[in-house]
Each structure stands twice: as C-alpha cells, then as structure tokens.
Amino acid sequence: MKHGKKYTESLSKIERNKLYDSKEAFDLVVSSAKAKFDETVELHVRLGVDSRHADQQVRGAVVLPNGTGRDIKVLVFAKEDKFEAAKAAGADYVGGVELAEKIQKENFLDFDVVIASPDMMAVVGRLGKILGPKGLMPNPKAGTVNPDVAKAVTEAKAGKIEYRLDKTNIIHCSIGKVSFGSEKLIENFDALMSAIAKAKPAAAKGQYIKSCVTTSTMGPGIKINTAKYGN
C-alpha cells in the first residue's frame, strides 16, 4: 500500500519496534497529525485472552476525564414518568414503543448511544438484530441498562465510552482528538487502561496486555509501554 508524503514524513519520526512511554507516544501522535481536520486519536489494545470463552470476555465502560471530543447523540428508552428527567439530562431522543417502531420501520439510526431503563428491555430486545451489529445494544455492564436513565445520559454526554473485545481479542477505542494535546490524551489513556487492567478475567493466563498501539486518524501506529498496568 502506497502512503502519501505527509504519512511517510510522520512515519520517519517513529521507531517501528520501540515501546514508547505514554508522554513520548502522545507527543508524537499530536506532532505527526497532518490532516486539515481535527483527527481522532485511537487506541488498540491486544489482550492475552480468548474471546470465544465466556469466562474470558473483557467488557465495560469508563468515563474519560476529558471526554471524547465528539458531540454524542443519546437515545433513551424509558417509561413516560422518566421522559422529562432524561431530556433535562441532555437526551436527544426519548420514547418507548414508538421509538422502537421508528428504528425498525424507518431504519432510524441517528444516535451514538442507546440507554434503556430495565423495564423497557422487552421492547428494546426486539431491536437486537439492528442495534447489536452496530454495537448499540444497551448492556448492564456498560451502564446503558440503568434505572437512573438521567444519570446514564449525563455520563454518556460527559464522555463515557464502552470497551470490549472483538473476535481477534483486541479492544478498539477512541480516546479524544489531536486538539486535546498530549496531557489530556494521557489522562484519558490512563483512565481507559486502568479500567481494562481492573477488568482482567480470573480465567486469563499468562501475559494479559499483549500490546498497545495508538494512532491518529491519518497517522502511523505508535507502540506504548504498558508495563505499569501489569501483565
């Protein structure tokens, strides 16, 4: 694959096999971002577990101290007595059966996070084939199935992100924008990595955090030393 001049220039600043400490890594991410838009900073963490086994799943949620840099659209499924509280907390869409029908019949998907009160899961469950593949299905572990929908909305708007393994045992997450600067990116990185470390399954054997790579949308990958988070 042929890369452009800006990518090649950024790549020349990075030692491919070096494990950088977080300060060096995010300084490089910020300095090597050359796009004309505010690039997203991503983290890709490979774990020494097997996602095919239920007792080795790694999934959860964490509020990033500096948010994600994105304007998150939140949809809430709740009973009518919670509508006003959800709206006051900043929910973009609030409803019940009629919202589910809109998603089913009109393929309405103009939202980033779905939150549901537990008593609405019978309705939301019908949307599994639509929301599931897009990673939007509410889940208690992520805090998106919550009797306190207003609190869940507040957290989502503040920068709460969900992390989970894909089929190749890698967690992919956005942790902010290049414009944050390295200090805020490091704070978000530390919050996510600490949460992943705490979520280590009891069944996990051997080295837990195999590798960690950060990159901006258009930039090269940079390997980060994660020894402080344990193995």
Q: What is the pTM of this model?
A: 0.82
In this prediction, residue 43 carries a pLDDT of: 97
What are the extents of the domains in the chain? Answer: 5-67+161-229, 74-157
Helices (H), 89-181: 97-106, 121-124, 128-131, 149-158
pLDDT block averages, 10 residues each, the chain of length 231: 56 80 95 90 96 91 92 95 97 96 95 96 95 92 93 93 92 96 97 95 92 93 91 67
Cα(185)–Cα(23) distance, rounded to whole angstroms?
A: 9
CATH of domain 74-157: 3.40.50.790
Q: Which CATH architecture has domain 5-67+161-229?
A: 2-Layer Sandwich (3.30)
